[in-house]
Structure 1
Amino acid sequence: MEGVWFQELQTKNLSIGCSVKEVLLKQQTDFQKLQVLDTDIWGRMLVLDGAIQTTIEDEFVYHEMITHVALNTHPNPKRTLIIGGGDGGAIREMIKHDTVEKATLVEIDKAVIEAAKKYLPEISVAIAGNNPRVEVLVEDGIKHIKEKENYYDIVIVDSTDPVGPAVGLFAKDFYAAIHRALKDDGIFVAQTESPFYNKDLIRRVFKDISSLFPITKLFTANVPTYPGGLWSFTMGSKVYDPEKLDMSKLRKLDTKYYTPEVHKASFVLPKFVGDLLK
């Protein structure tokens, strides 16, 4: 192999690699190792602690699915929160909903936000453009959520993998704090890793969220740069069932992956994934 290659050890037995045209940024932040790479196949790529977070070419899948499924399930989301997501992609999608009056982003690592603004403008447009509906807070998301009660309509946890600063974002007491921070008809969604490589985590998280929310659903999307490609998200809802909607009445959005039909289909789980939840 010629030239420079990036390789992510996705599990102890699996890696993914791609050729790199240029290393745009390499930085040790207060929390993690941050890199921005310009790759031949995926374009510019954000990497944290050696793990791919997002790329210009496939980011729309993850960011659309982690946001629009919940936002279209809620009939009138006004006050919304994203914990993590310092690249800005989830906030970008969130404010496509006209009902949203205030979308708050809480990211613990300011360096991620600044890197996204400079090197990933297509993704970070909502936070880079000083949109009046967007509030950006550089602080600990766990602390932030514990200080709120009956406040948010939607909470999205757009976290990194459950290591380092993100470990607490996969804990039951954190989900309980989110439940308290949500209004009586609030909805919560978290990214919950790969059904191929994170079976135990998915089982545990689904059980924890089910103990708090009367409606708990797992849905999936295909994110090619994430381990296994098939990626899971877990929703906890106090009132609204994402599968019992009039799909013809969902808000029409400018998207590349998400559609009302995809919304419905994302809850149809392969048997091995459904078996994880039993």
Structure 2
Amino acid sequence: MLWFTEYYSGEGMDLKGTGLTIKVKNALTTKTPFQEILLLDTEDFGKMLVLDGAIQTTEKDEFIYHEMIVHPALFTLGRKPERVLVIGGGDGGTVREVIKHNPEKVELVEIDREVVEFAKRELPSISCALDDERVELIFDDGREYIKGKENLYDIIIVDCSDPIGPSRVLYEEEFYKDAFKALKDDGIFVTQSESPFAQNRVHKKVVKELQKVFSIVRPYFAFIPTYPSGMWSFTIGSKILDPLTVNPEKLLGKVSNLEKSAGKLKYYNSQIHYGAFAVPNFIYEEE
């Protein structure tokens, strides 16, 4: 029996002597021009995707991350999305949740083609929507792809890895400005924004940079067992729509309609929609 440990010691990590150790039954690995891909068959979390030593997703708890990066923004939009852009997220889980809202088109921009192909082969329950006819797979640098685009997207979702290497530029004000321009007037931007406990400095930087660009910025939180500290964050940036002003009765009806057509959600619900935006005191305390 093997054991895998993700050590929380990378750039931007506030925890330096901590990690997560998981029992592994077998492992499959490959190296791409961009990163090392490791697929672990674990005893407790099913198949686990690891990129450059950092856990990205597992069959057991992926629904939390993917539902929460998608549904708060999509339900805040309040209408059928026409065009959605997903940057990163090559495992396909974010696209799977977006498709439940019946968009006209989804563009997935992933820099590493082999991550997508790997997920299609090894993680079909997560990648199942990548072959949907409404989904366009674009293998490119998301930072470059969005430049120059204006008034195109209803939703932009950034499902990126930690701010190390190629992903670093997806955490900067200039990228957020380009995303702002690429959104329609009522469009919504959402990004994963790291652990407010384990990566507090990075999380606060994301929120601060977004506040320079968007008039409405709302960080929100979920609990994901295999992510550093178990506490994770996402942040919405919007020009005019506030997730906290969504009508509760209308939201309840829309969630019910989605579940009738696309199946029950496992984490997100209308109560979570509002409760996730409650901010613990420690996160934004001055250092």
Q: Does TM, scored on the shorter chain, surpass 0.5?
A: yes
Instruction: Tell me how far apart the structure 2 counterparts of residues 267 and 224 of structure 1 sit (CA, whole Å).
Output: 19
**Identity within the alignment, %:** 49
SS at structure 2 position matched to 1:97: coil
- 1:7 maps to a residue whose letter is T
Q: 1:233: which partner in 2?
A: 234
Equivalent residue in structure 1 for 2:97, among 93, 100, 103: 93
Q: What's 1:6 paired with?
A: 4
TM-score, structure 1 normalization? 0.95
Q: In the aligned structure 1, how far is the partner of 2:110 from the partner of 2:76?
A: 25
Instruction: For residue 239 of structure 1, give the secondary structure of its aligned residue in structure 2.
Output: coil
CA distance in structure 2 between the partners assigned to 1:162 and 1:14 by the alignment:
19
What residue number does 1:57 align with?
60
Aligned residue in 2 for 1:261? 271
Contact 2:221 2:277 in 1 (8 A): yes
CA distance in 2, matches of 1:273, 1:232: 11
Which residue, 4, 20, 35 being the options, matches 2:24?
20
* 8 Å CA contact retained: 1:105, 1:134: yes
Partner residue in 2 for 1:168: 169
Residue 274 of structure 1 and its aligned partner are, at CA, apart by 4.5
When the two structures are aligned, how many residues end up with a matched partner? 271
Alignment-derived partner of residue 131 in structure 1: 132
- In structure 1, distance between residues paired with 2:232 and 2:112: 24
Aligned to 1:204: 205
Offset, 1:249: 1.3
1:171 CA drift (Å): 1.1
Q: For 2:108 and 2:246, how far apart are their aligned partners in 1?
A: 28
Deviations 1:20-60 (A, max 9, x none): 1111x211111011111100011000000000000000000
Alignment equivalent of 2:41, drawn from 27, 38, 41: 38
Distance 2:17 2:166 in 1: 24
Q: Using the alignment, how far apart are the partners of 1:220 and 1:274 within structure 2? A: 14
Distance 2:269 2:32 in 1: 37
| Structure 2 unpaired stretches of 5+ | 10-15
Inter-partner Cα distance in structure 2 for 1:171 and 1:147? 17
Residue type of the partner of 2:108? L
Structure 1 residue runs of 4 or more that deviate by more than 4 Å after TM superposition: none
Tell me if the contact between 2:198 and 2:229 (Cα under 8 Å) persists in the aligned partners: yes
- Distance in 2 of aligned mates of 1:221 and 1:242: 16
Deviations 1:142-189, CA, capped at 9 Å, x for gaps: 111113111101000000111122111111111111011111111001
The AA in structure 1 aligned to 2:61 is D
Q: For residues 58 and 92 of structure 2, what CA distance do their matches in structure 1 show? A: 12
CA contact under 8 A between 2:173 and 2:213: conserved in structure 1?
Answer: no
Q: Distance in 1 between matches of 2:158 and 2:87?
A: 5
Residue by residue over 1:104-145, the C-alpha shift from the partner in whole angstroms, topping out at 9 and shown as x without a partner, is 110000110011001100000001xx2111111111101111
Query: Are 1:33 and 1:48, in contact at CA under 8 Å, matched by a contact in 2?
Result: yes
